[in-house]
Each structure stands twice: as C-alpha cells, then as structure tokens.
Amino acid sequence: MALRWKYIDNQMDIATAGSVKEAVVLSRYHDAGLLALVAIYPILQDRYDQYHPAHLALVEGYNSLDSSDGAKQGDRLTVEQFFTAAKILLTTEWMPAILMVYKKISARFKSIFPNGLKPFYTGGIDEKIESFNTLSKNIGVDANLTSVKASVDGTYNHLVLARNNQLCAKATTAISSDALEVLRVNAMVLEYKNVAFVMLNLFEHRESILPLIIDLVTLREKVQSIYTGSILAGKTIAILAHTFLNTDSIRVNVSGIGSYRLFLSTTNTGIDSKVILVNANLKTDILVSGFGVTDFVNHRFLNMINESGDAATYRIELL
C-alpha cells in the first residue's frame, strides 16, 4: 500500500477534529488576517468574501451550542433540585402524615412502602422519579391519605416535566453538535483552499502571507493549559500568549502579598485592556470577556503587574 503524502490532507481539518473551539480560534485568525491583507493584495478580496460568511456561521454555531450547553446544565440542576425537594417532602411531610394514621409495623404501612425508602435512593434518575408514581398508586383511594396523595401526584408531575425538558435539551444539543460539525469542516476546507490560492497566485509572497492568515502556533502545538512562574515587586511580565475566545475563562492563584493587575494586551508589555485586579492567596476565576476587548486575534498577551512590595509566584490555568 502506497504511503499517503501528508500535504494532500487538510491539516486544519485534522488539527480541529473533535475540537470546535480550536477551529473557531483558527478561523478568527484566518478571517482577520485575510481582511487585513486585502488592502495590500486586492486579489484576496474574493477569498475573504467567500470565507467570511463561513467564519460567521461557525462562530454563531459555536456560541449557540455554548448557550444550549448552559441551558442543558440548567435543566440538569432543575431536575436535581426538584428531586431533592421531593425527597424532603417524602421524609418530613408525607411519611410523618402516613405514620399518624398507620403504625410503621402495620400491614397497611408496609403496603405503601414495601421496600422502605430504598427505591427513592437507588437506581437511575428515571427509576427514582417513578418511585413517587409507585407511592401514589400504593396510597390509592385511601380516604385517610387524600391530601398526601395529591401532594405526591403534584410533585411527580413536576419531576416528569423537568425530566422531559432535560431530555429535550439533550436532543437539541446533539442535533446542534451535528450541524456545527458541518460548519467546522466547511470553514477548515475553505481555509485549506485559501492556502492553495496563495500558493498559486501569490507564490513569491507566500512566506510573508501564510503566517498572517494561518495560526501556526495553534495549528502545530498542543495548547498549554497551566502556566507557573514568579514576578518581582513592581514589575510587569507577560505570563502567556494565547488566542482566547470571548467565552473562555482562566483561574488565577498568586502566592504573595497585596494585589496584582492583569491585562489582555496586544504586546507582551502592554496594558491596553480593562484591568482585572486579583488579590494574593485567593483562587480567582476570571471571564476573559471581563478584559473588555473584542479583537482576540491581536489581544493575545496576558500581562501581570505586581503592585505589592514583595516578589510572588503565580499559577494560571486555562479553563
């Protein structure tokens, strides 16, 4: 079997397979680079006009999926919260009310709770939810427990509704993921074709053009997620260079005294963004959007100023 030549394969597609976020990072870089070069090489205008809609579609799809993931998380919490509340009702209201009518050792009580509370605490979430329906059926038309049964039925209906909403959100997310994969591949194929276009039409300038439209750092290297180091009193340092997305967040932990200022800048000494202040010895999660920048292609340097009177060490984690 003949060996496959690697340049036949789309490296952008390969590098982003399984990581739409990385595709969005590459796409932002490519889209911004093409737009900047159009003024110098007008021949690239058509390539930008074709690529930009694909880029916007990818970013919108990614943001929509991120929102649906948030909604799905909310649905999960809703089911858990309802279920926790239902168990509290079970142990603090319904069971005491039933015990006021039927002793725990009576045959009637055992017919209502044949397995005690075990069904409400074991098995999957759907099995545990159905335990409340079983409880209602076991109570039946018992005139002594009419109000208890009504409360159980209402709680069960709330649980079923919340669970159905959760399952619907999961299905929607799965569909969105499939559609987003199409957008990812489309953008990466167009980016690959644009490399070929430069090679064919701007061959003499390829060495200067391609690094401006292809994010070679992201493409070639595994993204580092944890950065550690030290910073002297009163100094400014560049901690890392990374192409962030607006939805990204970082975790900052500085061991020292006093406070420290963080900026997301266009240079490794710049302070051209909103400042985010962190205090020593406190683990702080920061939304990248808090820096107030929109051009993440150029604002790539996370810089820190040590405003304390002593040296410190830091640990930055990309979440």
CA dihedral (135, 140, 146, 147) in degrees, to 10, reads: 20
pLDDT digits (tens, 9 = 90+) for 38-55: 999 999 999 999 999 999
pLDDT score at 169: 60
Considering the domain architecture, whether residues 187 and 45 belong to the same structural domain is answered as: yes
Most trustworthy range by pLDDT among 63-72, 185-194, 212-221, 300-309: 185-194
Domain residue limits at 94: 1-223
Residues 154/36, Cβ–Cβ less than 8 Å: no
78 is written with which tokens? 């809703």
Considering the domain architecture, whether residues 18 and 161 belong to the same structural domain is answered as: yes
pLDDT digits (tens, 9 = 90+) for 167-177: 666 555 555 57
250 is written with which tokens? 């970082």
Considering the domain architecture, whether residues 199 and 89 belong to the same structural domain is answered as: yes
Considering the domain architecture, whether residues 203 and 254 belong to the same structural domain is answered as: no
pLDDT score at 232: 86
Packing angle, helices 125-139 and 146-201, rounded to 10: 160
Considering the domain architecture, whether residues 146 and 262 belong to the same structural domain is answered as: no
Residues sharing a CB contact under 8 Å with residue 159, sequence separation 6 or more, in sequence order: 79, 82, 83, 86, 129, 132
CA distance 119 to 96: 18
Among the candidates 194, 223, 252, a domain finishes at 223
pLDDT digits (tens, 9 = 90+) for 113-153: 998 888 888 888 888 888 888 889 999 999 999 989 998 98
Among the candidates 207, 223, 239, a domain finishes at 223
Extended strands (E) in the chain? 226-231, 236-241, 249-255, 259-265, 276-279, 284-287, 301-306, 312-318
Considering the domain architecture, whether residues 232 and 208 belong to the same structural domain is answered as: no
pLDDT digits (tens, 9 = 90+) for 234-285: 888 888 887 787 778 888 888 888 888 898 988 887 788 888 888 888 888 8
Would you say the C-alpha torsion 58, 60, 65, 66 has a positive or negative sign?
positive
Residues 200/85, Cβ–Cβ less than 8 Å: no
Q: List the end-to-end C-alpha distance of the chain, in Å, as a whole number.
A: 43
Among the candidates 168, 201, 223, a domain finishes at 223
CATH of the domain at 298: 2.60.120
Considering the domain architecture, whether residues 213 and 136 belong to the same structural domain is answered as: yes
Considering the domain architecture, whether residues 9 and 97 belong to the same structural domain is answered as: yes
Considering the domain architecture, whether residues 214 and 108 belong to the same structural domain is answered as: yes
Considering the domain architecture, whether residues 42 and 81 belong to the same structural domain is answered as: yes
In this prediction the pTM is 0.47
181 is written with which tokens? 């994969």
pLDDT score at 286: 85
Considering the domain architecture, whether residues 197 and 240 belong to the same structural domain is answered as: no
CA distance 66 to 85: 29
Structural domains counted in the chain: 2
96 is written with which tokens? 């005491």
pLDDT score at 72: 47
Considering the domain architecture, whether residues 262 and 289 belong to the same structural domain is answered as: yes
Task: Give the pLDDT mean for 299-303.
Answer: 86
pLDDT score at 186: 92
